[in-house]
Structure 1
Amino acid sequence: MINFREYANFIWSVADLLRGDYKQAEYGKVILPFTILRRLDCVLEETKPNVLSRYESLKNSNIQNIAPILNAEAKLSFHNRSKYDFDRLIADPNNLAANLRNYVNGFSEGAREIMDYFKFEEQVNRLEEADLLFLVVKRFQEINLHPNKISSMEMGYIFEELIRKFAEISNETAGEHFTPREVIRLMVNLLFLNDRKILTQEGIVKTLYDVCAGTGGMLSVAEEYLKELNPKARLEVFGQELNPESYAICKADMLIKDQNPGNIKLGNSLSNDGLEYGKFDYCLTNPPFGVEWKKAEKVVKDEHQKKGFGGRFGAGLPRISDGSLLFLQHLVSKMKQDGEGSRIGVVFNGSPLFSGGAGSGESEIRKWIIENDLLEAIIALPDQLFYNTGISTYIWMLTNRKTKERKGKVQLINAVSFYEKMPKSLGNKRHEISPRQIDDITKIYGEFTNGDHCKIFNNEDFGYSRITIERPLRDDNGKVVTDKKGNPKADSSLRDNENVPLTEDIESYFTREVLPHAPDAWIDHSKTKVGYEINFTKYFYTYKPLRSLDEIRADIMKLEEEVYDEVANVIS
């Protein structure tokens, strides 16, 4: 295999030309689309004469759509009908801008759309005004990206490395569109681990979907993993992305890797599902953390109320400030319901674990997921892994085809200590998970046994009954006030609530925990609600004894001595 990082670094050296006229965070706006153009130029090189000849013969025909015919001549899912290529562009420097526009407009719709979403026309104008256009085009013309030299997968690696570089120098937005590669690799390992026998079958074809595809990193790493496992396997990838620039990058990545770019859709998947009827073998995603869903509110609420469980959001609606659990329900709706079923890997922050009490939208969604035995495992990751946030994150693994030993069970893995400090931080990213640590976490997941970092629970262990405890209302003389039937009236100021685990009898709990302190109390069973939450801290809490006074006193004395010495040095 070629040294793809070396190629990526050489391509990124174009930034030297842009320095001063472009901000550092803007380099990718030029380098990424030009890399795509140059790759497509090289890919089309051998068949270009045939395409042009065929185009001339069809120009005056009555055929309404000649694109499929020209694609067939190009032997690809796209073509270019312009007479220009990079060599001819460079040969006419005085008309470069106009010829470059002609060249881009000569691409078939799918490829041309990618350039549109990159706002390539704006970059051409900007480069021309800065007298940089010829220099940039010439530099890319010198880069050989021909498929005889660089395979589609290798080109994918190069492009992914360029995306990573772009994301890392755009830290203010990187977290929205870019998931660290080691996190994706861990998620992919967990997603495919139990399916190795299936995935190593010759000629196997599987589908994978990312509801928040970003620049396509998850799709790329998943495809890479499967190729390593079985070179004869094929993973058909699908996705949807809201950000136009990320969408363009993702589609370009698919085009470069001989995937179908038409499988990538633009738009808000909650309000406008671009793959409405799609069902997939695997789903993998990193939705935005704690982002409100107000823009999709009307469509989501209408679907919830009118379709119920016939739609995507039947289980419930979370608070408007965090749409994480909407994405989870959306992914569940994409699961195949046949014998093979589907598997889901999704990364969340801590909020979906516990936000919302019994009866809330969040709790009802957790209840639906767990009672339907869809939740397989949750892995707590180290903090400071992501570029735009230092918060703790968790991988949720779901499936509707649990193995026999996992049925009715949920595995919790505490991997918060599985990290190495980075030599240099990237935004908020100061930690990374090493390949060895990825293997260790994957092994813990696969072994499915209780240990220091792993605990196995029954589904009902996460459920509780939220009971309402009433106390009698008393008059000024301390006498209990009753209704017409002689039943005591409740004093709302004394009302209390208790969470009783589903694994415990409510009456027994009440007798043991409440009546000894409030003998006149009773339970209003009409107000009892069942809730679900996953309290990671409680399950993995280990008591650390307090330090002795002598140890604390010794440390204080030592600090006082150090301060005294420092002051003495300053005075002297």
Structure 2
Amino acid sequence: MAKKSTKKEKSMEETLWDSANKLRGSVEPSEYKHVVLGLIFLKFASDKFETRREELIAEGQDKFLEMKEFYNMKNVFFLPEHSRWSYIMQQAKQDDIALKIDTALHTIEKNNPALKGALPDNYFSRLGLDKSKLGALLDTINNIDTQKDKDQDIVGRVYEYFLSKFAIAEGKGKGEFYTPKTIVNLIAEMIEPYKGIIYDPACGSGGMFVQSMKFIEAHHGNTKEISIYGQEYTNTTYKLAKMNLAIRGISGNLGEKAANTFADDQHKDLKADYIMANPPFNQKDWRAENELLDDPRWRGYDVPPKSNANYGWILNIVSKLSENGVAGFLLANGALSGGGEEYKIRKTLIENNLVEAIVILPRSMFYTTDISVTLWILNKNKTHHIKTVGDQERVYRDREDEVLFMDLRQIGEPFEKKYIQFSEQHIQEVALTYHNWQQLDNEYENIPEYCASVTKEDIAKKDYSLVPSKYIEFVNRDENIDFDTKMASLQTEMSELLKAETQSKADLLNVFKELGFEIEL
């Protein structure tokens, strides 16, 4: 009897990644991702173009085959002949194939204003990719049938998978263009960006926008009732975001160019209904000593310290919220309890009833850092009101003087060996807890080691700290121990132990030296 194979069959995304990764050679992941994702886009755009072209032929509209208007009207990019995937594959073994690909991408961008600034610019020629390796990569991507199952968003899946793999490959300090999908899903399920304007001031490769659209589709909403605005500082990442939106047919305003959100705000007068963001953590020297002191975004608050941009991001977000706006964004945990100007700004935010929820996430969720981070939810309208999401009408209770604290550090499942992610069930359970706390007719109760609803008065008694462990009950911990104080004590003890170890090594080396032996420890 033949032994049944238990080997898991690789997904299309995994097979493509394995194949493409073998071809990378000496090219850095930060460069290579633009090569691979540019080709995936080119294949996708060509497949859509050919499908529309066949439709025109079937309708007897042959005379309009080379008129871009008859493609754009169906949300299809027009591709001149030498920009089509079929032409590229015909030329795949030629010595100048890299130049032909660069020319194709440049021509597509030139013929489609919506793609302005979106596509890789001379990457293929500049990187000097091995001709045979590039040909093999083209053969690999040629196997993707992007039109096979439109409901499954095949090219979107591939793009998302490659973005995550590149973020992992680039590692600590470099993969900031990508926020792990399950964290973005959690933010979307909690703040429910259903209708109106969505803004992301540090949009990376555009993941927040993509998941917002998926949230709307999952709840049978109309994606045409959403407007997208974003900004991104790094030019190559700005291109990734524009390409990511284009692949999914999402129209968005990412500003005229890649630009610094603080120094060159591309959406100065914007008021957004939903803000979703994962800005860079703990940016130092984000402004000069005398810069942005009178910026209107800080009006009513202290000027954020130049030593750390965290509160600059918070106040930029606050300034962009509409009258009933809600924001969900990520920051390093240090922002929960900083002193100086940060303390004053945090106190004012709490007194102004803007802080709705503080959610601690597990460690090792990010590809760029293993620290635990915080999801902040700010809400311009925490008072009693009615909100419609999909076919649900919700009556919200007055939570103006309360903040919900949640600790998710015991939640999550391992993935890619060393990372943690949320399952769909985790996301739904956390979102349900939050929505039950918000709504008038739903039951909510504090749960030890998980969640606590805390009054503004009690937060004031803790000197406006937003560290969840100060408020959530921990049944296995001495309640008289202050977590921050204990951690500071442990750091001091560890420092002293390391000093003692260094001294012991020095003493031991001296003993051997006196005995006439030279050794290294």
Q: Which TM-score bucket, shorter chain as reference?
A: 0.7 to 0.9
Secondary structure in 2 matching 1:169: helix
Cα pair distance change 1:365/1:415, threshold 3 Å = same
Mapping of 1:20-169 within 5 angstroms? 20-23=25-28, 26-46=31-51, 70-71=68-69, 73-75=71-73, 76=75, 78-92=77-91, 93-94=93-94, 95-107=96-108, 108=111, 109-111=113-115, 113-115=117-119, 118-119=120-121, 121-127=122-128, 129-146=130-147, 149-151=149-151, 153-169=153-169
Distance 2:260 2:466 in 1: 29
Q: Deviations over 1:42-72 (max 9, x none)?
A: 122245698997798xxxxxxxxxxxx8345
Residues 182 and 433, structure 1, Cα contact 8 Å, conserved in 2: yes
The residue number in structure 1 matching 2:320 is 334
Cα drift, residue 365 of structure 1? 1.5
Cα drift, residue 25 of structure 1? 6.1
Cα drift, residue 413 of structure 1? 1.6
Cα drift, residue 376 of structure 1? 0.9
Distance 1:138 1:545 in 2: 62
The residue number in structure 1 matching 2:334 is 351
The residue number in structure 1 matching 2:249 is 258
Distance 1:450 1:381 in 2: 18
Cα pair distance change 1:145/1:171, threshold 3 Å = same
Q: Deviations over 1:403-450 (max 9, x none)?
A: 33312211112222223344611xxx3x33333332332232223232
The residue type paired with residue 357 of structure 2 is A
- Structure 1 unaligned regions, length at least 5: 57-68, 200-204, 465-500, 502-530, 547-572
> Given the alignment, which residue of 310, 325, 328 partners 2:311?
325
Q: Please say which of residues 11-20 and 242-251 is displaced more in the overlay.
A: 11-20
Cα pair distance change 1:461/1:175, threshold 3 Å = farther
Distance 1:313 1:71 in 2: 47
Distance 1:343 1:389 in 2: 27
Distance 1:296 1:15 in 2: 43
Say yes or no: does 1:209 pair with 2:199: yes
Residues 110 and 262, structure 1, Cα contact 8 Å, conserved in 2: no
Say yes or no: does 1:276 pair with 2:288: no
Residues 357 and 405, structure 2, Cα contact 8 Å, conserved in 1: yes
Q: Please say which of residues 84-93 and 159-168 is displaced more in the overlay.
A: 84-93
Cα drift, residue 183 of structure 1? 1.6
Secondary structure in 1 matching 2:172: helix
> Given the alignment, which residue of 395, 410, 417 partners 2:410?
417
The residue type paired with residue 439 of structure 1 is Q
The residue type paired with residue 300 of structure 1 is L
The residue number in structure 2 matching 1:450 is 446
Distance 2:179 2:98 in 1: 36
Mapping of 1:373-392 within 5 angstroms? 373-392=353-372
Distance 1:17 1:421 in 2: 26
The residue type paired with residue 369 of structure 1 is L
Identity of aligned residues (%): 22
Q: Give aligned pairs, total.
A: 436
Kindly name which structure, 1 or 2, has the bigger radius of gyration based on alpha carbons: 1
Residues 210 and 238, structure 1, Cα contact 8 Å, conserved in 2: yes
The residue number in structure 2 matching 1:558 is none
Distance 1:159 1:413 in 2: 32
Cα pair distance change 1:384/1:378, threshold 3 Å = same
Cα pair distance change 1:173/1:55, threshold 3 Å = farther
The residue type paired with residue 287 of structure 1 is P
The residue number in structure 2 matching 1:18 is 23
Q: Deviations over 1:236-279 (max 9, x none)?
A: 33211112222211111100111114446521111111122222
Mapping of 1:440-519 within 5 angstroms? 440-448=429-437, 449-452=445-448, 453-463=450-460
Q: CA RMSD in A?
A: 3.2
Residues 364 and 532, structure 1, Cα contact 8 Å, conserved in 2: no
The residue number in structure 2 matching 1:249 is 240
The residue type paired with residue 227 of structure 1 is E
Residues 21 and 130, structure 1, Cα contact 8 Å, conserved in 2: no
Q: Please say which of residues 213-222 and 131-140 is displaced more in the overlay.
A: 131-140
Cα drift, residue 336 of structure 1? 1.3
Secondary structure in 2 matching 1:167: helix
Q: Deviations over 1:66-87 (max 9, x none)?
A: xxx8345432374334544121
Residues 168 and 175, structure 2, Cα contact 8 Å, conserved in 1: no
Residues 358 and 468, structure 2, Cα contact 8 Å, conserved in 1: no
Distance 2:250 2:106 in 1: 22
Distance 2:21 2:336 in 1: 46
Cα pair distance change 1:297/1:266, threshold 3 Å = farther
Secondary structure in 1 matching 2:398: helix
Residues 247 and 266, structure 1, Cα contact 8 Å, conserved in 2: yes
Distance 1:447 1:17 in 2: 49
- Structure 2 unaligned regions, length at least 5: 1-9, 383-395, 438-444, 480-521
Residues 252 and 261, structure 1, Cα contact 8 Å, conserved in 2: no
The residue type paired with residue 156 of structure 2 is G
Cα drift, residue 41 of structure 1? 1.5
The residue type paired with residue 250 of structure 1 is A
Residues 379 and 412, structure 1, Cα contact 8 Å, conserved in 2: yes
Residues 376 and 411, structure 1, Cα contact 8 Å, conserved in 2: yes
Secondary structure in 2 matching 1:238: strand
Cα drift, residue 323 of structure 1? 0.8
Distance 1:405 1:446 in 2: 13
Distance 2:436 2:71 in 1: 52
Cα drift, residue 386 of structure 1? 1.8
Q: Deviations over 1:143-193 (max 9, x none)?
A: 3323x643584432331112112112221345522222222222222112x
Say yes or no: does 1:221 pair with 2:211: yes
The residue type paired with residue 361 of structure 2 is L
Q: Deviations over 1:322-380 (max 9, x none)?
A: 1111111111111112xxx1111011122221101xxx321221122112211111112
Secondary structure in 2 matching 1:333: helix
Secondary structure in 1 matching 2:68: helix
Cα drift, residue 451 of structure 1? 2.8
The residue number in structure 2 matching 1:406 is 399
The residue type paired with residue 172 of structure 2 is E
Cα pair distance change 1:72/1:191, threshold 3 Å = same
The residue type paired with residue 34 of structure 2 is K
